[in-house]
C-alpha cells in the first residue's frame, strides 16, 4: 500500500530506502522500501541515525574487524579516532606489557595494532590518551590536552608508524614549541591481551534500530502504508531528535530468546558465516520487528525487538531474512545475499523483553 506523502513529512515519497543500512553492504535479493520516504527525510533526518549506528555502535567495530565497506562515495571514517552524528568514538584499550599502562588499539580487516596516539602518564598512575586522527591541527591538539586536565609532572609516550614519526613530532612541536620528546616515541610491535572496548549508545542508536525494524516490516506487509494511526508512536520515536536515551525502552527491548532456531541450544553457533537477521511479525495483539546484526560463530549478537503497533490483528504471520556475507569478500558490487528464512511459531511463551537501557541509581 503506497501513499502520496512521505512516512515522516508531507512531502511526496521519492526515494529508495534500504531497511538494512547500505553501510553494511549491498545484498542480492534484499528487500527495499520504494517510494515511501522523501529524499530529504531519507538522507538527512534518517541518515544521521544510520551514521551513528554504523560508526559509533558495536556494529562499527565489526565493520572494521570484517572489513565491511559501504557506499564508495561516502567519506571513510575510522571510528577509533572520531565519533559521528553526535556519537562518541570507539575506545579499545589494553595494557602495554612494556610500559605498564593502558594504550589505545584499533583494528582493520582483522588486524589489531596500537592506534596513533599521545599518552600522558601522571606520576600518580592516572593515564590520559589523545588519539591523533589525520588532519588534526596544533590548535585542536592543544584544546584536547587542556580538556584532559593532566596533572604535572607527567611522562609522554608517542605511538605511530615509523613513516609517521616526522610529521607527528612536527605536530607536537607546533602545538607545544617548548616540548622535548626525547626518547618517548614508542613504535615496537607488541602482543596485547584482554583488550576492552567501550561503546556509548545514545537515543539515535536505538532510533536507528527501530527504523530498521519498522521499514523492514513495511517491506514484508505491503498491506500497510505505515501511515496508519497505530504506527504513530514508532514514527514519532524514529523522527524526534534529542530524546533521553531511556525513552528507547518504550519502543525497543532485548529479546531473551534466540531469534534463530539453530541457536536455541546455547552451544550452537552459525557455522562459519556472518550475517544480519531481520524479522517481522503480527500477532493477535501487536506488530513486531526483530533486528540482530553481525551474528557470527564468534559473537552472539543481541537481538532487539521493536514494538511497532498494538491492536487487533486478524492473522499471526511472520517473515524474515538473513543477510549473509560472501566468505571471499565482494562479488561485483554485492557483499552477500539475502535469504528468506523459514519461520515457525514456538509452542511455548517467550520470556518478557529486557530493557535496552538500565539506569543506575545510588542512595
pLDDT in tens, 192-251: 999 999 999 999 999 999 999 999 999 999 999 999 999 999 999 999 998 889 999 999
Q: How far is Cα 329 from Cα 83, in angstroms, rounded to an integer?
A: 26
Q: Is the pLDDT of residue 134 over 60?
A: yes
Residue 69, in any domain of the structure: no
Does residue 35 sit in the same domain as residue 109? no
Q: Is residue 11 part of a domain?
A: no
C-alpha span between 316 and 338 (Å, rounded):
23
Residue 117: inside a domain, yes or no? yes
User: Is residue 85 one of the residues assigned to a domain?
Assistant: no
> Are 165 and 206 within one domain?
no
Domain match, 205 and 189 both: no
pLDDT in tens, 286-311: 999 999 999 988 888 999 999 999 98
- Residue at which a domain ends, from 172, 198, 224: 198
Does 164 map to a domain? yes
Indicate the range of 31-40, 70-79, 125-134, 172-181 predicted with least confidence: 70-79
> What is the per-residue pLDDT for 313?
84
| 220 and 312 assigned to the same domain | yes
Residue 190 included in any domain: yes
Q: In terms of pLDDT, which residue wins out, 251 or 179? A: 251
Q: Are strands 91-95 and 185-186 parallel, antiparallel or unpaired?
A: unpaired
Specify the pLDDT at position 190: 81
Are residues 175 and 52 part of one domain?
A: no
Given 180, 198, 216, which residue is the final one in a domain?
198
- Predicted TM-score (pTM) of the model is 0.92
CA gap 192, 94 in Å, rounded: 6
Do 185 and 53 share a structural domain?
no
111, part of any domain: yes
Select the more confidently predicted residue: 49 or 180: 49
Q: Would you state the pLDDT for residue 7?
A: 97
User: What is the three-class DSSP state of 34?
Assistant: strand
Please tell me whether residues 207 and 347 are part of one structural domain.
Answer: yes
Same domain for 329 and 184: no
**In which domain, by residue range, is 240 found?**
16-58+201-355
Which of 154, 181, 198 represents a domain boundary (last residue)?
A: 198
Query: In this structure, are 289 and 188 located in the same domain?
Result: no
Say if residue 173 is in the same domain as residue 222: no
Q: Write the burial class of residue 359 (CB in 10 Å: 0-12 exposed, 13-18 middle, 19+ buried).
A: exposed
pLDDT digit string (tens) for 149-166?
999 999 999 999 888 888
pLDDT of res. 323: 95
Is 70 exceeded by the pLDDT of residue 29? yes
Q: Is the pLDDT of residue 77 over 50?
A: yes
Residue 184 and residue 311 in one domain: no
On the question of pLDDT at 343 being above 90, the answer is no
User: Residues 1-12: what's their mean pLDDT?
Assistant: 88
Higher-pLDDT residue of 363 and 171 is 171
Average pLDDT of the segment spanning 39-48: 94
pLDDT at 360: 60
Q: Are residues 206 and 194 in the same domain?
A: no
Q: Taking a C-beta distance cutoff of 8 angstroms, is the pair 290, 213 a contact?
A: yes
Q: What is the mean pLDDT of the chain?
A: 90
Question: What pLDDT is stored for residue 363 in this prediction?
Answer: 40
**pLDDT for residue 312:** 81
Is pLDDT above 80 for 17?
Answer: yes
Q: Does residue 5 sit within a domain?
A: no
| Count of domains for the chain | 2
The residues, ordered by sequence, that sit 6+ positions from 100 with a Cβ below 8 Å of its Cβ are none
Q: What pLDDT shows up at residue 188? A: 65
pLDDT of 187 > 70? The answer is no
Sheet of 196-198, strand order: 111-114, 102-108, 91-95, 196-198
What average pLDDT does this structure show over 78-97? 95
Amino acid at each position: 500500500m503506497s501513499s502520496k506523502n512521505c512516512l515522516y513529512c508531507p512531502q511526496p515519497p521519492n526515494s529508495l530506502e534500504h531497511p538494512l543500512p547500505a553501510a553494511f553492504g549491498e545484498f542480492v535479493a534484499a528487500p527495499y522500501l520504494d517510494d515511501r520516504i522523501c529524499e530529504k527525510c531519507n538522507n538527512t533526518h534518517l541518515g544521521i541515525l544510520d551514521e551513528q549506528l554504523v560508526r559509533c555502535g558495536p556494529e562499527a567495530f565489526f565493520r572494521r574487524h570484517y572489513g565491511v565497506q559501504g557506499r564508495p562515495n561516502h567519506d571513510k571514517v575510522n571510528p577509533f579516532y572520531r565519533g559521528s552524528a553526535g556519537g562518541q568514538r570507539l575506545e579499545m584499550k589494553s595494557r602495554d606489557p612494556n610500559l605498564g599502562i593502558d594504550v589505545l588499539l584499533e583494528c582493520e580487516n582483522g588486524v589489531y595494532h596500537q592506534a596513533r596516539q599521545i599518552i600522558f602518564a601522571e606520576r600518580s598512575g592516572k593515564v590520559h590518551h589523545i588519539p591523533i586522527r589525520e588532519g588534526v591541527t596544533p590548535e585542536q591538539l592543544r584544546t584536547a590536552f587542556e580538556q584532559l586536565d593532566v596533572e604535572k609532572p607527567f611522562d609522554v609516550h608517542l605511538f605511530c608508524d615509523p613513516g609517521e614519526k616526522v610529521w607527528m613530532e612536527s605536530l607536537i612541536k607546533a602545538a607545544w614549541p617548548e616540548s622535548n620528546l626525547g626518547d618517548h616515541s614508542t613504535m615496537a610491535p607488541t602482543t596485547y591481551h584482554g583488550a576492552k572496548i567501550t561503546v556509548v549508545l545514545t537515543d539515535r542508536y536505538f532510533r536507528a534500530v527501530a527504523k530498521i525494524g519498522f521499514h523492514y516490516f513495511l517491506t514484508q506487509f505491503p498491506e500497510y502504508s505505515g501511515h496508519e494511526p497505530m504506527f504513530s508512536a514508532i514514527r514519532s520515536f524514529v523522527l524526534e531528535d534529542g530524546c533521553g536515551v531511556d525513552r528507547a525502552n518504550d519502543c525497543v527491548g532485548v529479546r531473551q530468546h534466540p531469534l534463530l532456531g539453530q541457536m536455541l541450544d546455547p552451544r550452537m553457533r552459525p557455522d562459519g558465516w556472518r550475517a544480519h537477521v531481520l524479522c517481522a511479525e503480527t500477532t493477535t495483539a501487536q506488530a513486531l520487528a526483530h533486528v540482530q546484526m553481525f551474528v557470527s560463530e564468534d559473537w552472539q549478537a543481541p537481538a532487539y525487538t521493536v514494538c511497532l503497533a498494538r491492536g487487533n490483528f486478524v492473522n499471526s504471520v511472520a517473515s524474515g531474512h538473513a543477510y549473509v556475507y560472501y566468505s571471499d569478500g565482494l562479488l561485483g558490487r554485492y557483499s552477500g545475499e539475502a535469504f528468506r528464512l523459514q519461520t515457525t511459531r514456538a509452542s511455548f511463551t517467550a520470556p518478557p523483553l529486557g530493557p535496552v537501557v538500565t539506569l543506575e541509581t545510588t542512595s
